[in-house]
Amino acid sequence: MVRLIPIGFMLLAGSLLLARPICAEPLILGFENREQWENWQEISFPGRARTHYEFDPAAEMVCALAVASASALAHEFPGQLADYPVLSWEWRIEQVLAKGDARSREGDDYAGRIYVNFKRDQRMSRWERARARLLEVFYGREIPGRTLNFIWANRLEIDEIVTSTYTANARLVALQSGNQRAGTWVREEVNITEHYRRAFGGEPPPIHSLALMTDSDNTGETVRACYRRIRLGPAKPLPAEAES
């Protein structure tokens, strides 16, 4: 499904208009209230059944049910990466996909994943940039470039990073793997800049958008996951040196 993401996320550029914050205070993106929920836009893909996403205001979460389906919820990045390099969230899955495999196209489904989509820059190939420009002319929307996928895998080792089987512009980072923690809420915190350096090398371009996705269109399975407490924050200060 990674192959469909750049086309789907181009819908974001003109549809989500969020004011840039004045200072780098932590930002809560979801899902404590309906206003936060409404800032997320569902992105569907041609020829694919849609995953069902449901906002639960009492539990302050969104749950996703994928039945041989795929779609995403996307949120424009509401600031600058330098101000908000730390992304945190909580997720809970019922089980991983039995046929899921990040190293094969047939297994490219995940019970849970969080995308960080970056704007295009000169590090993309000339062919990729030309193709993106043509699509932008046709659709009238911006198309992002590279992407980090933080996934709940079932065959990768935790912290393992692999390249998508669909595009060299996507990296899959396994934060969880297997069913050992399925059924429980798990908190994640990642430094986007540091993970970009590990995955791609060099410094990251500006961020285009964030997204969450639960999909099973390649494996044909049924899977359910929930997400909550999605936040952006500044980098944590280094501990003070002890006085001698």
Q: Which pLDDT tens digit goes with each residue over 193-238?
A: 999 999 999 999 999 999 999 999 999 999 999 999 999 999 876 5
What gap in Å lies between CA 200 and CA 168, rounded to an integer? 10
Q: Which residue has the higher pLDDT, 163 or 242?
A: 163
**Whether pLDDT at 164 is above 60:** yes
Regarding pTM above 0.85, the answer is no
- Looking at residue 236, its pLDDT comes to 77
- Which SS3 state, helix, strand or coil, does residue 41 take? strand
Residue 144: burial class (beta carbons within 10 Å; 0-12, 13-18, 19+): buried
| Partners of residue 54 on adjacent β-strands | 63
Spatial separation of the C-alpha atoms in residues 75 and 53, rounded to whole Å = 14
CATH number assigned to the domain covering 2-18+39-233: 2.60.120
**Which secondary-structure segment (H or E) carries 92?**
strand 86-93
Task: Tell me the pLDDT tens digit for each residue of 65-86.
Answer: 999 999 999 999 999 999 999 9
Number of Cβ within a 10 Å radius of residue 48: 17
Sign of CA dihedral 158, 161, 167, 169: positive
**Domain boundaries along the sequence of the chain:** 2-18+39-233
Q: What is the pLDDT of residue 126?
A: 63
Residue 243: pLDDT band by 50, 70, 90 thresholds? very low
Q: How confident is the model at residue 157 (pLDDT cuts 50, 70, 90)?
A: very high
Q: If you average pLDDT over every residue of the chain, what do you get?
A: 85
